[in-house]
Amino acid sequence: MIKQQRAYSFFITHILLFLVMVAPAFAVEVRYPIPCYEGEELKKVRQWEKIWVGKIIDTANVDKIKELLPESLYEIITNEEEWGRSWFAIVPYRQYTMTAGTIAATKKYSPAARLGEQGELLDWVAGVPFPVPKTGMEIAWNYYARTKGDSLFTNAPAYIVDGRKKYDRNVQFEVWLTYFAGRLDVPPVPEILPNPKQIYRGASSEFTDPPEMRGNLSFQATYKDTSKPYDMWAWFAGLRRVRRMSTAQRTDTQAGQDLCYDDNYGWDGSMIRNTYEILGRKEILVARHQDIQKLEHTEGDCIVDGLQRERINTFVLEVINKDPGYIYKKSIWYMDPELWHIAYADRYDKHGNYWKQFDQYQAIFKGYKDQDIPYQAGSMTIDHQRIHSTFGIVPDSKLGIEIPTEKFSIKYLYKYGR
């Protein structure tokens, strides 16, 4: 009897050992990156590009590609009376190159990533958590996980354009950004330690224009605990004080711009503040690999001209904020399936009327170890109700640089505020 039991134990132990050793060979390897088009689909796109690449699209010919434009963009190009002449160029689709760190982290950590009961992201460390997303919430977390080179500095000039009175005002600020967690390439990976406050991302900015705002600094902390609200402090030069800001102030605009704090990069709030539903896929023309030198702006013109747009197959999300009093009743996000950023968005006011268009244009910058990193060359937020817009054209950003972590602290505001 005992001999029999021993034999069974021996047998079962070795079966288990075998499974443990062999099982990884049967595990499904994470496929990443996944191009937007491949195979037959890519061939079809290339066929289409033979006709359209190199063409300038304006009011004269926009009808021929209407099905590849969001309705709001089509309206701007066709309605010259209200918006002036607007145009863009069509360029070939190019797959984004992901950094080595992004690929390695996605393959390593995405199998464990999952959603909690409230839609929160669990068991994730770095990389794209859901390379093949099935729900809108998973796409939203893919967006959240993008670290833009892990750290960056940008000097961001922006235009505030009154399309009716045909004049510009200017805003300019410097931005420093560092991801404390979820890091991909710049050491230390995946997290800067120690991180006693459990910060996910620190953002510090300083206004350099207009003159009355020059010298105003701000610091914003986003936490690893995604249920924890953002914290924000601002140094006001006129008051000579650091002021604690409320999260409610995130829906207020600054300096006459058309976008509020929540609108930065398309969405700069906690992901669990919204619900996300996939409406489907839609092929649209999106500004991806910009040659910034070709972008043009005429004073009083609400639109950036000269954008170079590629045809891609976006995920379309309907995004509704859980706060019934939120400034947008709903938003429609067009998500780039390679970069997982908000390439384009339509926003509706509280009465459901169309209000703002958000159009983001990326360019390739050099990051850590000279790797190519797609990052924002600018974005346009266009108020269709007021014929007004805010947009930036960022000539250069420094990605993957070393930024002292003390820059992302309240002490920094006290130290450098004047």
Partner 1 sequence: MKRLIFYGVTVLVSFFICPANSSFALDFFNGRLHDVKGYVNWSMVFRMHQDERDVTVSSLRTTLKLEGLLDIITTDTVDIKFYGLVNYWYDGAVNADASLRRTIRYEDGGSHGVKESTRPNCEEEIINEAYLDIAYGNFDIRLGKQLVSWGESEESRVADVINPLDVTNMIAFPDWENLKVGLWMARIFYSPPNTRSDLSFELIITAPDFQPTRYPPAGNGIFFPFPLMPQGLFGKVLHQREHDRPANDWSSMEFGMRIRGYSFGTDWALSYFYSRRDTPIIDGEKGMGEFIKLAFGLPHDDVYTYPHYSSIGFTFARPWDRIKSVIRGEIIFNTGMYYQYGDKFEFVSDKKKRDLVAFAVSWDRDNMIPWYSYWNKSRSVTTSLSWYHYHFLGHKYNKATGEYIWWESELHRDSTWDVLTLGIATFLFQDTLILLGNFAYDFNRGTTIVGIIRYKPGDRWIYQIMYQQLNEQSTARMANQLSLILKYDF
Kindly state the smallest distance separating residue 203's Cβ from partner 1, in Å: 17
Q: Based on CB atoms, which residue is closest to partner 1, 9 or 353?
A: 353
What's the DSSP call for residue 264?
G
Kindly state the smallest distance separating residue 385's Cβ from partner 1, in Å: 7
Q: Based on CB atoms, which residue is closest to partner 1, 93 or 412?
A: 412
The beta strands (E) that lie in 228-289 are given as: 231-236, 241-245, 274-287
Q: Based on CB atoms, which residue is closest to partner 1, 24 or 194?
A: 194
CB 377 within 8 A of CB 155: no
Residues at the interface with partner 1 (CB under 8 A): 157, 160, 162, 167-170, 172, 194, 196, 208-212, 214-215, 229, 231, 233, 237-249, 251-253, 255-258, 260, 325, 327, 349-351, 383, 385-386, 388, 406, 409-411, 414-415, 418
Kindly state the smallest distance separating residue 102's Cβ from partner 1, in Å: 29
CA–CA separation, 329 and 56 (whole Å):
35
Kindly state the smallest distance separating residue 394's Cβ from partner 1, in Å: 15
Q: Based on CB atoms, which residue is closest to partner 1, 216 or 314?
A: 216
317 beta partners: 278, 333
Q: Based on CB atoms, which residue is closest to partner 1, 224 or 366?
A: 224
Helices (H), 266-332: none
Helices (H), 110-257: 136-144
Q: 340: which 2 tokens?
A: 């997982």
CA–CA separation, 105 and 142 (whole Å):
13
Kindly state the smallest distance separating residue 234's Cβ from partner 1, in Å: 11
Residue 347 has a CB neighbour count (10 Å cut-off) of 23
Kindly state the smallest distance separating residue 257's Cβ from partner 1, in Å: 8
Q: Based on CB atoms, which residue is closest to partner 1, 115 or 327?
A: 327
Select from 330, 380, 384 the least CA-distant residue to 358: 380
Kindly state the smallest distance separating residue 58's Cβ from partner 1, in Å: 27
CA–CA separation, 92 and 37 (whole Å):
12
CB 307 within 8 A of CB 363: no
Q: Based on CB atoms, which residue is closest to partner 1, 59 or 247?
A: 247
Select from 3, 373, 377 the least CA-distant residue to 158: 377
Select from 1, 335, 284, 276 the least CA-distant residue to 143: 335
Residue 87 has a CB neighbour count (10 Å cut-off) of 17
